[in-house]
């Protein structure tokens, strides 16, 4: 059934009218008029706290957004996802990453298959394997324990495990070093192999499809490198695979006993909870990996049961939708004020943009509004000294998500105080800005001449009124990290439903893959009449001349 176009829904139309009224709103005045604004526009769930009060909206905006969510059927689609319905309609697949973190007694089956039993059987294997590697019982072919793990994968088979391993650095095994190779650029593999010893290295070949060109090439290179130092029989001690494609892993030469499976109902960018999280379980141990899953499950429970108005992922999604749709914001900046979350923005780029970077609805009709904004960011204080200039005074308004832990995992309290001070001060500055009159007063106080004051004042004025959210947790732990990722997964899902997108396919990555195969054949010398545009032909010719 074709959904009503977004712009034809009564709530959207009411929001359009409301947005015109809201055009002149100044957040500093909204705060002054309502001393309860922070209490009213903040929420706690699953160990996280979200303050969304520094957005250019009011109670009425939130009411209209909540009605829109209901009109677009967000709750029904959420329930369909949790129930295992095939909501990924272009691939005819269920979407069940939430089942990967549900307890053993959760009842769920897809096509007659007991999903819970399958998930927990693989978790048990992950436990046995990771315990053996971590304890030193799993030995390399010359009898030495494993010291280095190289995960070979790309996209969802890299970004999640890499981001989480970095984020949970404090929980990691002291003598296991994790490496991640994703890029087909040989510099990536070369740099990793330089650091490791084949006797003590374990390779994880992580690929849902086990056909991804970059991963297959990197896996073959790793295999050849290993076989230059050891016999074929030794492979079983040093290569394991994570995939849904058992035939392909056999063909590659990995024993299915060394394969950790997952299922087609787990999307690549939602897969860190599956066996794709093997590097995480190796790094932090199965106990903390279970805590990570439990944190995400706590957020799932909240998302599943809380009313729209009290539902953290829905609120984050609705506020983001307002900023995108009615304030015209084309990108969102993610600012973790926690060094260990430094890969979190990159992780969210795939999660959000591969999910909602779409221009047709679930039924293939062109969308009638803009969809996913671009997602980007860096750890906050570093960003402050790089691109925050544009965020404060540039011509585009970019909403920011500030993310911080209230307590550090170190004893350098003065550093942590400075970090939090920066985080909170930035959100205040974005909201309040500094008017030209305030700037003039400041400059007068410094004893500047009138001419100097008028020359400098426009440069020192901050428009303010720039939206941000702040997400806090007590500590960055496996559980709070799990909840944080699940929060963004569900936010992405809700926005996809508002736009009526299929957030679980990614056809947009295919064209480049097909063309790359053709160009690669040409670069290798396959004779072809010049068949591209003059730019592509010219670039190919230059590369061939350089060989
Ligand atoms: O795990 P695979 O099958 O190697 O895929 C890797 C990545 O490639 C993509 O399919 C995009 O090309 C992502 O969706 C996925 O996470």
- For residue range 278-320, list pLDDT tens digits in order: 999 999 999 999 999 999 999 999 999 999 999 999 999 999 9
Share of the chain above pLDDT 70, in %: 99
CA-nearest of 167, 401, 148 to 272 is 167
- In the chain, where the domains are located: 39-72+306-429+467-499, 99-287, 433-465, 510-546
d(CA 133, CA 140): 10
pTM of this structure = 0.97
Q: Given the residues 23, 194, 233, 385, select the one marked as catalytic.
A: 385
Whether the CB-CB separation of 406 and 472 falls below 8 Å is answered with: yes
450-462 pLDDT tens trace: 999 999 999 999 9
Whether the CB-CB separation of 253 and 157 falls below 8 Å is answered with: no
d(CA 111, CA 404): 42
What is the position in ligand 1's atom list of the atom closest to the CA of 513? 12
Domains 39-72+306-429+467-499 and 99-287 agree in fold: yes
Residue 349 DSSP one-character state: I
Q: What are the backbone angles phi and psi of residue 543, rounded to the nearest 5°?
A: -65, -40
What is the mean pLDDT of the segment spanning 498-502?
Answer: 98
SS3 content of the chain, % helix, strand, coil (to 5): 55, 10, 30
Is 513 considered catalytic here? yes
CA-nearest of 484, 223, 240 to 345 is 484
pLDDT at 197 over 60: yes
pLDDT at 243 over 80: yes
User: The tokens of 488 are what?
Assistant: 């963004």
pLDDT at 530 over 80: no
Is 75 considered catalytic here? no
CA-nearest of 260, 293, 245, 140 to 202 is 140
CATH superfamily, domain at 99-287: Glucose-6-phosphate isomerase like protein; domain 1 (3.40.50.10490)
Question: How remote is the C-alpha of 295 from its chain's centroid?
Answer: 16
Which positions ≥6 away from 285 have C-beta within 8 Å? 130, 131, 134, 171, 173
- Report the residue among 182, 212, 279 best suited for mutation to probe ligand 1: largest number of ligand atoms under 8 A from its CB: 212
Whether the CB-CB separation of 500 and 361 falls below 8 Å is answered with: yes
pLDDT at 349 over 60: yes
What is the position in ligand 1's atom list of the atom closest to the CA of 153? 4
Task: Give the angle subtended at the CA of 218 by the CAs of 217 and 224, to the nearest 5°.
Answer: 90
Q: HSE-up of 500 (CA within 13 Å, CB side)?
A: 24
2 pLDDT band, cuts 50/70/90, is: low
Res 71: pLDDT: 97
361-420 pLDDT tens trace: 999 999 999 999 999 999 999 999 999 999 999 999 999 999 999 999 999 999 999 999
Which positions ≥6 away from 541 have C-beta within 8 Å? none
d(CA 250, CA 237): 15
Q: Given the residues 144, 195, 415, 513, select the one marked as catalytic.
A: 513
- Report the residue among 88, 91, 152, 154 best suited for mutation to probe ligand 1: largest number of ligand atoms under 8 A from its CB: 154
Res 440: pLDDT: 98
Residue 380 CA to ligand 1 centre (angstroms): 29
Per CATH, the number for 39-72+306-429+467-499 is: 3.40.50.10490
Polymer length in residues for the chain: 547
Res 527: pLDDT: 75
pLDDT at 525 over 90: no
Residue 185 CA to ligand 1 centre (angstroms): 17
Beta strands per DSSP E along 71-121? 109-110, 113-114
CA-nearest of 113, 182, 170, 204 to 480 is 170
CA-nearest of 3, 1, 76, 94 to 501 is 3
Res 1: pLDDT: 53
- Report the residue among 88, 97, 155 best suited for mutation to probe ligand 1: largest number of ligand atoms under 8 A from its CB: 155
Residue nearest to atom 13 of ligand 1 (CA): 155
What is the mean pLDDT of the segment spanning 534-538?
Answer: 93
């Amino acid at each position: 059934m074709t959904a009503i176009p977004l712009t034809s829904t009564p709530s959207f139309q009411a929001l359009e009218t409301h947005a015109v009224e809201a055009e002149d709103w100044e957040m500093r005045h909204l705060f002054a008029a309502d001393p309860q604004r922070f209490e009213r526009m903040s929420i706690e769930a699953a160990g996280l706290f979200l303050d969304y009060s520094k957005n250019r909206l009011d109670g009425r905006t939130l009411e209209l957004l909540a009605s829109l969510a209901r009109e677009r059927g967000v709750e029904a689609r959420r329930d369909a996802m949790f129930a295992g319905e095939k909501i990924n309609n272009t691939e005819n697949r269920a979407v069940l990453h939430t089942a990967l973190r549900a307890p053993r007694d959760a009842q769920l089956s897809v096509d007659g298959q007991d999903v819970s039993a399958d998930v927990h059987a693989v978790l048990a294997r992950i436990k046995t394997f990771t315990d053996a590697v971590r304890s030193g019982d799993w030995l390399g072919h010359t009898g030495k324990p494993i010291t280095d793990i190289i995960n070979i994968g790309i996209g969802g088979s890299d970004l999640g495990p890499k981001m989480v391993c970095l984020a949970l650095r404090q929980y990691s095994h002291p003598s296991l070093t994790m490496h991640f190779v994703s890029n087909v650029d040989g510099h990536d593999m070369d740099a990793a192999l330089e650091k490791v010893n084949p006797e003590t290295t374990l390779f994880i070949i992580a690929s849902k499809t086990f056909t991804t060109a970059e991963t297959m090439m990197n896996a073959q290179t790793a295999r050849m490198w290993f076989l230059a130092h050891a016999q074929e029989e030794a492979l079983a001690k040093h290569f394991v695979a994570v995939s849904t494609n058992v035939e392909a892993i056999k063909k590659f030469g990995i024993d299915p006993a060394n394969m950790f499976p997952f299922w087609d109902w787990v999307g690549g960018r939602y897969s860190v909870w599956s066996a794709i999280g093997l590097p995480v379980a190796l790094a932090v141990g199965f106990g903390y990996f279970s805590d990570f899953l439990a944190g995400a499950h706590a957020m799932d429970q909240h998302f599943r049961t809380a009313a729209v108005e009290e539902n953290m992922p829905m609120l984050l999604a609705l506020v983001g939708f307002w900023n995108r749709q009615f304030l015209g914001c084309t990108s969102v900046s993610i600012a973790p004020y926690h060094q260990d979350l430094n890969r979190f923005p990159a992780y969210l780029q795939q999660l959000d943009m591969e999910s909602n970077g779409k221009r047709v609805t679930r039924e293939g009709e062109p969308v009638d509004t803009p969809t996913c904004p671009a997602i980007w960011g860096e750890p906050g204080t570093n960003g402050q000294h790089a691109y925050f200039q544009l965020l404060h005074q540039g011509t585009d308004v970019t909403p920011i998500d500030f993310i911080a832990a209230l307590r550090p995992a170190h004893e350098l309290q003065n550093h942590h105080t400075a970090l939090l001070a920066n985080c909170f001060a930035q959100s205040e500055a974005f909201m309040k800005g500094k008017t030209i009159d305030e700037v003039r007063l400041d400059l007068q106080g410094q004893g500047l001449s009138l001419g100097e004051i008028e020359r400098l004042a426009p440069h020192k004025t901050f428009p303010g009124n720039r939206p941000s959210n702040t997400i806090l947790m007590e500590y960055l732990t496996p559980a709070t990290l799990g909840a944080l990722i699940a929060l963004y997964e569900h936010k992405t899902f809700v926005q996809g439903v508002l736009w009526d997108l299929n957030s679980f396919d990614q056809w947009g990555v295919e064209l480049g893959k097909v063309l790359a195969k053709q160009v690669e054949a040409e670069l290798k010398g396959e004779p072809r009449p010049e068949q591209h545009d003059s730019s592509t032909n010219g670039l190919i010719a230059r590369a061939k001349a350089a060989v």
